[in-house]
Amino acid sequence: MRDLSASWVWEKPIDSNHGQSKSSQKMEYSFQSEMGSGENVEHSTDEHQEGGSPYPQMSSMSPVKLMRRKMRQERRDLRTAQLIQQNKETDYQMAAAAVERSKSLDTTVKGKYSIWRRDYDNPNSDSTLKLMRDQIVMAKAYAYIAKSKNESNLYNSLTQHSRESQRAIGEANSDTELHPSALDQAKAMGHVLSIAKDQLYDCAMIARKFRAMLQSTEENVNALKKKSAFLIQLAAKTVPKGLHCLPLQLAAEYYLQGYHKKQDRDKEKLEDPSLYHYAIFSDNVLATSVVVNSTVLHAKEPEKHVFHIVTDKLNFAAMRMWFLVNPPPKATIQVENIDDFRWLNSSYCSVLRQLESARIKEYYFKANHPSSISAGADNLKYRNPKYLSMLNHLRFYLPEVYPNLDKILFLDDDIVVQKDLTPLWSIDLQGMVNGAVETCKESFHRFDKYLNFSNPKISENFDQNACGWAFGMNIFDLKEWKRRNITGIYHHWQDMNEDRTLWKLGTLPPGLITFYNLTYPLDRGWHVLGLGYDPALNQTAIDNAAVVHYNGNYKPWLDLAVSKYKSYWSKYVMYDNPYLRLCNISE
């Protein structure tokens, strides 16, 4: 034990002086013992004398003994250092093991709750709150029995305590938010429930009442879910005031200041296959600016990057004006109007042909009708007109839009770039057309999630366990696309789904079908999804991703956005821009 370091001994702070004196006594005794009978120790006669030393002074000693003493001290020092080092290594190993164990914990799933569990007595942050809510449920059940048995006094007492408990709870979500009288109220309610149990307990009647309460609660929950789904969809489709103002201001300036007469710069770069080309199809000026800004900022050679932006005629002037007055450093920008693509008409495009159907218009553009709302959240999600927008489906016509390019990187307008993307062009797609990050984990995001495998047209042609992938950041080989006639495959399946029996939602299901067995899986680090709906994503994966994607309803430019993810997007917004200040767009 004498070789153990001082860090292994725990002492109370108040005893530190006492411990020091005892320690010095032990050291002195040990030292004198080791000196042996032949070692003479003399103390200074006056330790407090000026210039005196408080330590023992050695009389003459043989060199051998001095050497032994020195070696013993060196061994002690070495042993102490080893013990301290071992202690640090042990602490580090324990910390590392704790981190590894924490990775296996699923923090998104809450544990089951029961007031009858033995560990209910543990001091949880909401134990009193849960107890009071359970008491209210029990009080309602006993009040029903009391009323049926004409126990008016007990009935009145139960209902009164229920109201008081509900007032004490209020809007609290934890014990710290409860009213100060909550604990006393819980005790009083417990006393009343004890009396009710003694007088009214009837297992059969309580079971019937609980079943009725459960059914009523489920109906209320379903109604609230439908209401919530409708409001979320409505909020997701609503354009914030600032984003509505911005294109109006830009469009007005575009024509008033004569910017519509200006020609695009670096036209020779627009069809140069040796450069890095991006396709962005959007009607959102601010979102598109973030995509371009974040990409150029991380590009090692921005002068070699060309952005092809396509928007609609309503936003064309605003989009072009923005990039004329805010050009990204060195990069090339082309803004086009989708209505100028004369070849994109209903005789060629399946989606445009379907839009001419009165039945399709009614299905998609009457989503706010009461009959649609009552059908539930999924129905509302499927019946969003944006999924028939040609800007959304233009991704299936890339070789027609850019006939002279060999490869192009498609980017959604709700992504943020965090690394240089140029290595994507050098990836060998091994004869595939589409390079994308796969999204399947266990049973999630496989083909059966998106397609109707009860239809033989689907089940006979596709594997329901095939892995899904993500639109939003895709590298396309346009030469291979044209060789395999990918657009023709897309038209074939889009025509077959005119009655919406093969799939319901958006562009991903037809994309999975069109590029089936033609998609090369990219490393997951290239594209991390879910920032628009999942608040429990892995933070390290987000920080290390080349592209983060706000797919979902909680877009970063909306008030619905997940607050902890918003900064990844907002740091690329030019909040000091005069047009943004004019429209009160701020962090």
Domain for residue 216, yes or no?
Answer: yes
Dump pLDDT digits (tens) for 433-479.
999 999 886 555 789 888 999 999 999 999 999 999 989 999 999 99
Helix, strand, or coil (residue 181): coil
Same domain, 459 and 434: yes
Same domain, 216 and 251: no
Same domain, 233 and 247: no
**How does strand 415-417 pair with strand 305-311?**
unpaired
Same domain, 171 and 251: no
Domain for residue 58, yes or no?
Answer: no
Here the tokens at position 90 are: 């042990």
Same domain, 174 and 280: no
Domain for residue 2, yes or no?
Answer: yes
Choose the final residue of a domain: 222, 237, 252.
237
Place of tokens 């918003």: 566
Whether the CB-CB separation of 215 and 203 falls below 8 Å is answered with no
Rounded to two decimals, the pTM is 0.67
Same domain, 323 and 393: yes
| Integer CA distances (angstroms), 360 to 64, 381, 503, 545, in order | 105, 15, 14, 39
Instruction: Choose among 189, 212, 199, 209: nearest CA to 152.
Output: 199
Same domain, 410 and 497: yes
Whether the CB-CB separation of 302 and 412 falls below 8 Å is answered with no
Rounded-to-integer distance, Cα 288 and Cα 413, Å: 5
Rounded-to-integer distance, Cα 476 and Cα 407, Å: 6
Same domain, 73 and 137: no
Domain for residue 4, yes or no?
Answer: yes
| Integer CA distances (angstroms), 522 to 246, 511, 519, 543, in order | 36, 16, 9, 18
Domain for residue 221, yes or no?
Answer: yes
Domain for residue 381, yes or no?
Answer: no
Q: What is the pLDDT of residue 340?
A: 95
What is the helix (H) or strand (E) element at residue 28, kind and residue range?
helix 16-35
Here the tokens at position 291 are: 């995509």
Query: Residue 6's domain spans which residues?
Result: 1-31+65-78
Domain for residue 484, yes or no?
Answer: yes
Q: What is the pLDDT of residue 399?
A: 97
161 φ/ψ angles, rounded to the nearest 5 degrees: -65, -30
Dump pLDDT digits (tens) for 121-173.
445 667 888 889 899 988 988 888 888 888 889 899 999 999 998 888 888 88
Rounded-to-integer distance, Cα 328 and Cα 295, Å: 10
Rounded-to-integer distance, Cα 343 and Cα 345, Å: 6
Same domain, 196 and 249: no
407 φ/ψ angles, rounded to the nearest 5 degrees: -135, 150
Rounded-to-integer distance, Cα 551 and Cα 411, Å: 12
Q: What is the pLDDT of residue 105?
A: 56
Choose the final residue of a domain: 210, 237, 264.
237
Same domain, 142 and 272: no
Query: At residue 553, what is the residue type?
Result: N
Q: How many domains does the chain divide into?
A: 3
Instruction: Choose among 6, 114, 290, 297: nearest CA to 309.
Output: 290
Q: What is the DSSP string of 299-356?
A: -SSGGGEEEEEEE-TTTHHHHHHHHHHSPPSS-EEEEEEGGG-TT-STTT-HHHHHHT
Rounded-to-integer distance, Cα 389 and Cα 380, Å: 17
What is the Cα gyration radius of the chain? 37
Domain with residue 455: its CATH number is: 3.90.550.10
Same domain, 196 and 251: no
Domain for residue 102, yes or no?
Answer: no
Whether the CB-CB separation of 272 and 299 falls below 8 Å is answered with no
Low pLDDT (below 50) residues in the chain? 1-58, 107-122, 371-374
Same domain, 193 and 230: yes
Choose the final residue of a domain: 495, 512, 527.
527
Instruction: Let me know how long the chain is.
Output: 587
